Chain A
């Protein structure tokens, strides 16, 4: 896949935006300014950036508890996201849901989800609706390696394949289901092998390379859009932190952790080097992106902090619809 400069810089911008949002959120949580659970996407940015760069506005995504990256990559509004993390009235869910449940239906973001592997059956429902209404859209379901051990993963891949639904299943294999490493939670090495059980293509890609992810996504999206059914893409990646901010991750091998965080492996540092090495972008251009994003994130925090708390009556809204 040959990408032009604008496409490459767009991938970088998305990844930097995700990273900065996550790092800022982490700092805010450690400073005691955010409450609840925060599952950082830091380290996995290339997956969301690569996959969502292949989606149009008519396409939808179903995300996870570790969902900020997907939402940002699909165009989510970071002010409303940050406000939701703060539990403010201006947040995506009016402060009723927090980090794990951000959605923007107008952008096809059907929602993050606090239950592991819950998004997959829902993604099939969304895909079914798109096809029922003869729309051209496809749906991406994101999930982690741990999710592939839940029954809903298998129910969903089976239905999507037997019904040829326009879905792309994207597994972010960050090597751990909560604290349990892959070799302790499944017998197989390649999660993409599970696709064979459903008669669909399964591919494993370098999940820290946004271009590799984008290529795999392009193929899978095209296949789904043209009515040929789902694909399982396994993206090999690494979460920089524990399962949640506050989990020290003692179950990780320190050497492996060091390797994945090194500039050679980290998706953003590595991609910046590539842009420079291949003469696609200058250091000044990269710095400009960094500066611009940093300001956007600061603005999002300022927006969230200056936003009002929800009125108590908000609690009673949206339980039932007329």
Chain B
């Protein structure tokens, strides 16, 4: 059974269901309780679960993540929220040196089953300190898992999967996706972490993407189909662990790969995927691996500039066509 939900409703649903299922799950962060988060991702949870299980914190990002680390070390399953990923610079130590490393550095005496929910991306004219995709800062940190869903169903399944995972999981939601609707499985819905999804099968080129870029990639695939190019579109869903097999299996079939993400192209996670394809799939390729990402500038404010800045469907189509 599915139900039509918005992206934000799916996030809320996932948290409600997990809190109902497991009394050790609680939520803490800025603005999460009384007003239900900036985009309503936790609306109604205070009324349903009470102030012991959803807590407004001071504007203290290091403390928010530290709270999650300490509580998870004691066996709770915190969902700690950093509204915008742009603010994660304020608590990078807690993410990188504490959450990611303590289970290892303590010789496995603890696991840290904690979720860090945060919002990536632009498209809401919020300028460079509120619009970034900073996933590549964290994909090279062993100990973290990183998932990101662009559709209501995926964000729900990944979030429930993250809550049940015994590791620190960064759940990257997209801040411009809140009102997008889609069919979402009703009741508990758990997606496996570390598995990509083929969102559109194809035979001529593999488009690898994640988060809301999935929509532009699927639209580009449709346009390409009309031009006689059959594109297979892979939604990674999980950046760490990365489903290499899914990517390489697809490239084996298509012989071409284009990686698309909203983050800055230079130094972006797409580079790692391109390197893996070159490294492990060189003989499969009929064309160079291409990347489509944002230019190497901060995210600009003006709607005109931001539209130009974000990778477009047209750009994806033209880069794919350049491979033929």
Contacts and interface: CB of A to CB of B under 8 A. Distances in A.
Interface residues of B, number: 41
Contacts of A96: 104-105, 107
Given A97-B106, A111-B106, A129-B76, A124 B66 contact: yes
A129 B72 CA distance: 8
Nearest to A317: B108
B285 interface: no
A321 B167 contact: yes
B62 A152 contact: yes
Contact of B98 (A94, A118, A151, A155): A118
A124 B64 CA distance: 10
Interface in A102-117: 103-105, 110-111, 113-115
Interface in B98-124: 98, 102-111, 113
B151 to A, nearest CB: 26
A320 B143 contact: yes
A115 B70 contact: no
B53 to A, nearest CB: 9
Given A115-B97, A129-B71, A156 B145 contact: no
Contact of A120 (B65, B66, B110, B113): B66
Given A97-B107, A132-B76, A110 B70 contact: yes
Contact of A125 (B73, B103, B106, B113): B73
B181 interface: no
B72 to A, nearest CB: 7
Interface in A207-232: none
Contact of B67 (A115, A121, A158): A121
A122 B66 CA distance: 5
B166 to A, nearest CB: 4
Nearest to A158: B58
A133 B70 CA distance: 13
Contacts of A293: none
B107 A121 contact: no
Given A93-B106, A155-B62, A118 B166 contact: no
A176 interface: no
B107 A322 contact: no
Interface in B23-57: 26, 52, 55, 57
A275 B75 CA distance: 43
Max chain B Cβ within 10 angstroms of own Cβ: one of A93, A97, A132: A132
A276 B166 CA distance: 54
Contact of B107 (A93, A120, A132, A151): A93
B4 to A, nearest CB: 35
A302 interface: no
Contacts of A115: 93, 97-98
A320 B112 CA distance: 9
Contact of A118 (B55, B72, B97): B97
B57 A159 contact: yes
Nearest to A152: B62
B24 to A, nearest CB: 8
B108 A152 contact: no
Interface in A285-322: 317-322
B63 A128 contact: no
Max chain A Cβ within 10 angstroms of own Cβ: one of B78, B108, B142, B167: B108
A118 B94 contact: yes
Contact of A320 (B60, B63, B98, B145): B145
Nearest to A92: B107
Contacts of B178: none
Contacts of A101: 105-106
B67 A128 contact: yes
Contacts of A125: 66-74, 78
Given A121-B62, A121-B69, A159-B58, 5 more contacts: A121-B66, A124-B67, A125-B73, A129-B73, A129-B74
Interface of A: 62, 91-94, 96-97, 101, 103-105, 110-111, 113-115, 118, 120-130, 132-133, 151-152, 155-156, 158-159, 162-163, 317-322
Interface of B: 26, 52, 55, 57-58, 60, 62-63, 65-76, 78, 93-94, 97-98, 102-111, 113, 142-143, 145, 166-167
5 contacts: A114-B97, A121-B63, A125-B78, A152-B63, A158-B60
The 4 closest A-B pairs by CB, nearest first: A125-B70, A121-B66, A129-B74, A93-B107
